[in-house]
Chain A
């Protein structure tokens, strides 16, 4: 019983916050219309974003992580306030749900896409993942479905660098109401390496 007192206070607080969150979530429904191009000058690629989708400045980061990773950009249908609300409650995992991601890694050893995608240290590993050959943007790629970090990801080698282009729908409890997997597939399939 000692634990119930502070918990009851906490519960009352989160019920109030949840009501606010529900309002914000409803605002994520976007308009219909043509896709717009997003060009990344830093990572050297472009993609097409369906209406209401945007680059998340909060979740994107240019960071040399693990010596090889250059950075990543995240694309979400959540509005900025909704994204902030999700990060605060129920947490960053929710904000990362139903997002498209483009990562760039240095590949000085010239690993092939398939070799990279099947190396547990470089790409991680999950039971039940499926790795297969694929093509994206005219490049030979390795496609990993149900991997440890992405629901679907393509690994694309391009001149000393490895792109990882994928999306996450691996936390279905936190799906934004306006998000759908077909939009995410369209974003990923529009990936294009820019000169």
Chain B
């Protein structure tokens, strides 16, 4: 009796580290919960049976972007079907993508739109990375029946399609209830977190001091040395104004590419100004031409004596 596994596990036993599988700030209704949280005898929902007992359905519509709930490597990829139906004949015509988390579990995203995959076979993608557009391919009931069916399962070995899903919880929403519309706090494309480097130094006039700012890439896209910078920011000197401590308004990233999770280094020199005093340069990470990233009020201070 495989059904016994439907018994809810304690919350702390649920698989975690997941964010809601759509872009940050967006909210979609939960249209079906795991079978364990349904009155299955009355509803007979598709999550009451088979491998899908711990799956969630979210009310995404055709064309809505799906985001990776967890980082992982694409291990299964089907995106060539155009339509779906409640008819069981469509079972083998479902578009879906599976991401292997690398910890023995994988996430599965069902019913994506034809040719909408934003990932490639074998590609590693960060949490929050676009997966595909939602759609209605495979067994879907309703008209058009579009939604995202999301589940986590033990990573299937080669040659096995899907395994029994496991209980999950989302970092920002726990185990959301039917009809609720939790707001995603998934990773944005560009996001940074200060990782070190700020200093308080005493310098003479014209004296130089090499230093470097460190920021971790907490978004889902990589940073390139062609556009990743530290930019001057307020209150001192002001946004985009040259600093008397550096002579510029930008500091370049030293590495060619910084992938999600990696730390970027921005080396520069502090130069003692001619006049004595206390000077600061506030720096904020920016992808030039696209967006400023988080402002954590990070500054370097020079005591010019």
Tell me the count of chain A residues lying within 8 A, CB to CB, of chain B. 53
Interface centre among A3, A93, A168 (most CB of B within 10 A): A93
Q: Are B121 and A120 in contact (CB under 8 A)?
A: yes
Distance in Å: Cβ of B124 to nearest Cβ of chain A:
12
Query: Shortest CB–CB separation between residue A151 and chain B, in angstroms?
Result: 6
Residues of B within 8 A of A120 (CB): 77, 79, 120-121
Nearest-CB distance from B169 to chain A (Å)? 14
User: Which of A10, A88, A101, A146 lies in contact with B92, CB distance below 8 A?
Assistant: A101
**Complex: how many Å from CA A72 to CA B87?**
13
Option from B3, B46, B121 in Cβ contact (under 8 Å) with A11: B3
B89 to chain A, nearest CB (A): 4
Contacting pair A125 B121 (CB below 8 A): yes
Q: Which of A14, A59, A168 neighbours the largest number of chain B CB atoms within 10 Å of its CB?
A: A14
Q: Please, what's the 1-or-0 string for B69-87, where 1 marks a CB less than 8 Å from any CB in chain A? A: 0000101111111110101
| Chain B neighbourhood of A4, CB < 8 A | 7-8
The answer to whether B159 touches A170, judged by C-beta atoms less than 8 angstroms apart, is yes
What is the minimal beta-carbon distance from A128 to any residue of chain B, in angstroms? 3
Within the complex, the shortest CB–CB distance from A126 to chain B, in Å, comes to 5
- Complex interface residues of chain B between 28 and 75 (CB less than 8 A to chain A): 35-42, 46, 48-52, 73, 75
Residues of A within 8 A of B2 (CB): 90, 173
Q: Give the chain A neighbours of B50 by CB distance below 8 A.
A: 89-91, 93-94
B133 within 8 A of A: no
Chain A residues positioned under 8 Å from B85 (CB to CB): 63
Chain A residues positioned under 8 Å from B87 (CB to CB): 61
State the majority secondary structure of interface residues on A.
mixed
Nearest Cβ on chain B to A163's Cβ, whole angstroms: 15
Q: Is the CB of A91 within 8 A of B46?
A: yes
Q: CA separation between A93 and B121, bound complex, in Å?
A: 24
| Assembled-state Cα–Cα distance A123/B78 (Å) | 7
Interface residue total, chain B, C-beta cutoff 8 A:
51
B12 contacts the other chain (Cβ, under 8 Å)?
no
User: Given the complex, which residues of A lie within 8 Å of B35, measured CB to CB?
Assistant: 10
Q: Which residues of A contact B75 (CB under 8 A)?
A: 126-127
Could you tell me the distance between the alpha carbons of A149 and B95 in the complex, rounded to whole angstroms?
A: 10
**Quick one: given A3-B36, A6-B41, are A127 and B114 in contact (CB under 8 Å)?**
no
Q: Is there an interface contact between A7 and B36, defined as CB atoms closer than 8 Å?
A: yes
Cα A148 to Cα B8 in complex, Å, equals 31
Verify if B162 is at the interface (C-beta below 8 Å from A).
yes
A15 at interface, CB cutoff 8 A: yes
Which parts of A125-166 form the interface with B (CB within 8 Å)? 125-129, 145-146, 148-149, 151
CB distance from A59 to the nearest CB of B (A): 5
Which residues of B sit under 8 angstroms from A14, Cβ to Cβ?
A: 1, 3, 40
Q: Using Cβ atoms and an 8 Å threshold, which residues of chain B touch A122?
A: 80
CA distance A145 to B158 in the complex (A): 10
Q: Is A109's CB within 8 Å of the partner chain B?
A: no
* CB-defined contacts of B114 to chain A, threshold 8 Å: 66
Q: Which A residues lie within 8 Å of B209 (CB)?
A: none
Find out whether the CB atom of B88 lies under 8 angstroms from the CB atom of A87. yes
A6 near B40 (CB under 8 angstroms)? Answer: yes
Q: Does residue B221 face the partner (Cβ distance < 8 Å to A)?
A: no
Q: Would A67 and B82 count as touching, CB distance under 8 A?
A: yes
Do A95 and B160 touch across chains, with their CB atoms under 8 A apart?
A: no
- B89 with A60: CB separation less than 8 A: yes
Q: Are the CB atoms of B158 and A10 closer together than 8 Å?
A: no
Q: How far is the CA of A22 from the CA of B158 in the complex (A)?
A: 29
B139 adjacent to chain A (CB < 8 Å)? yes
Query: B122 in the interface, Cβ–Cβ < 8 Å?
Result: yes
Cβ contacts under 8 Å, B3 to chain A: 11, 14-15, 18
Given contacts A61-B89, A95-B91, A148-B78, contact A90 B159 (CB under 8 A): no
Q: Is A110 an interface residue (CB 8 A)?
A: no
List the B residue with the shortest CB-CB distance to A152: B159
A-B contact pairs, 10 of them (CB 8 A): A6-B39, A10-B41, A59-B91, A65-B81, A69-B93, A87-B88, A96-B92, A120-B77, A171-B160, A171-B162
Additional A-B contact list (11), CB under 8 Å, known A6-B41, A90-B2: A10-B35, A66-B81, A72-B89, A90-B50, A91-B52, A95-B91, A122-B80, A124-B78, A126-B76, A127-B100, A149-B78
